[in-house]
């Protein structure tokens, strides 16, 4: 019996080791993704529910590795634990800002660009300096840039994090609280957060027309936004019914497959010219 147990254990050990090897391999490969030009951004429209115009775009990163497009959920955590997210994040921020300015010059108006950042990036001592350099280099209007931080990341109550976000906002850059509703922020805590925008997590939106509880929770989150003077955007809107329910609840902005999936920069400018004419 002892032998059997051992065999089972080593099998598990093998699997674990394999996964560890894969992770190490991925971390090593990731380290070259910027210089090898393997990263690109996709853009997803953010819509005003009153006018149905595009107000902004969220930049979402993709990695092309050995001919395969790898979604961020498969590599961001590896990039975070290896620390490579920091240089990678600067590339993403600069590329997104450059794109925003390019659209602005092609159009007669401008839209905002939202960029996801992880905690590791905000804790980089160079973050503000590098951000300033990117603002200057690209010429983006700081108020057209938004940084998305997740609610769970802000739960790790951290003074440096709050002060970095305050400094970000002093520059006119906006801050959005992503995945809102999945953490456990209290009202009083939310009130102290240096944020401008709440993004209601898609897990609530996906059930909004089926569960009265999810609809009620969403209504509550919209009220919290109003109370704290924050803009509120619903993420993951996939159907017309969900949109109509959100309008009924007083939500002002939405994002999701119902309007557009994340698309390339050239597809995005086409979408802008058709939807915002």
Question: Minimum distance from CB of 40 to ligand C2E (Å)?
Answer: 11
String of contacts with Ca ion for each residue 82-121, x by CB under 5 A: ----------------------------------x-----
Q: Tell me how many residues contact ligand C2E (CB under 6 A).
A: 20
Contact 11, 79 (CB under 8 A): no
Rounded Cα–Cα distance for residues 232 and 216 (Å): 15
Binds 60: which of Ca ion, ligand C2E, none (CB < 5-8 Å by kind):
ligand C2E
Q: Does 256 bind ligand C2E (CB under 6 A)?
A: yes
Q: Which stretch binds ligand C2E (CB under 6 A): 18-26, 67-75, 155-163, 186-194?
A: 67-75
Q: Does 72 bind ligand C2E (CB under 6 A)?
A: yes
Region label for 4, one of left (φ > 0), alpha (ψ between -120 and 50) or beta (otherwise): alpha
DSSP class per residue in 6-70:
HHHHHHHHHHHHHHHHHHHHHHHHHTTTTTTT-EEEEEEEEEETTT--EEEEEEEEEEEETTEEE
Q: Does 178 bind Ca ion (CB under 5 A)?
A: yes
Among 30, 45, 49, 92, binds ligand C2E (CB under 6 A): 92
Q: Is the Cβ of residue 100 or residue 118 nearer to ligand C2E in the bound state? A: 118
Q: Does 193 bind ligand C2E (CB under 6 A)?
A: no
- Neighbouring-strand partners of residue 62: 40
Contact 47, 253 (CB under 8 A): yes
Q: Does 148 bind Ca ion (CB under 5 A)?
A: yes
Question: Minimum distance from CB of 69 to ligand C2E (Å)?
Answer: 11
Rounded Cα–Cα distance for residues 47 and 174 (Å): 17
Helix (H, G, I), strand (E, B) or coil at 256: coil
Which residues of the chain form contacts with Ca ion (CB under 5 A)? 116, 148, 178-179
């Amino acid at each position: 019996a002892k032998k059997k147990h051992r065999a089972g254990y080593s099998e598990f050990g093998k699997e674990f080791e394999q996964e560890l090897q894969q992770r190490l391999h991925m971390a090593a490969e990731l380290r070259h993704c910027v210089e090898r030009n393997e990263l690109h951004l996709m853009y997803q429209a953010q819509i005003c529910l009153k006018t149905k115009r595009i107000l902004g775009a969220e930049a979402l990163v993709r990695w092309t590795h050995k001919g395969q497009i790898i979604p961020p959920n498969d590599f961001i955590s590896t990039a975070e634990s290896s620390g490579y997210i920091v240089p990678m994040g600067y590339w993403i921020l600069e590329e997104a800002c450059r794109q925003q300015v390019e659209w602005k010059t092609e159009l007669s108006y401008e839209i905002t660009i939202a960029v996801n950042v992880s905690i590791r990036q905000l804790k980089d001592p160079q973050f503000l300096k590098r951000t300033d350099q990117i603002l200057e280099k690209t010429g983006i209007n700081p108020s057209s840039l938004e940084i998305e931080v997740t609610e769970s990341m802000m739960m790790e109550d951290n003074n440096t994090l709050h002060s970095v976000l305050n400094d970000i906002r002093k520059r006119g850059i906006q801050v959005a609280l992503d995945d809102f509703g999945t953490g456990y922020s209290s009202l009083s805590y939310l009130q102290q957060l240096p944020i401008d925008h709440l993004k209601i997590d898609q897990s609530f939106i996906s059930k909004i027309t089926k569960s009265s509880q999810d609809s009620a929770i969403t209504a509550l989150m919209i009220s919290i936004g109003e109370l704290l003077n924050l803009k509120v955007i619903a993420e993951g809107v996939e159907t017309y019914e969900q949109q109509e329910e959100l309008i009924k609840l007083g939500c002002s902005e939405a994002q999701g497959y119902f309007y557009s999936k994340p698309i390339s920069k050239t597809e995005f400018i086409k979408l802008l010219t058709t939807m915002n004419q």
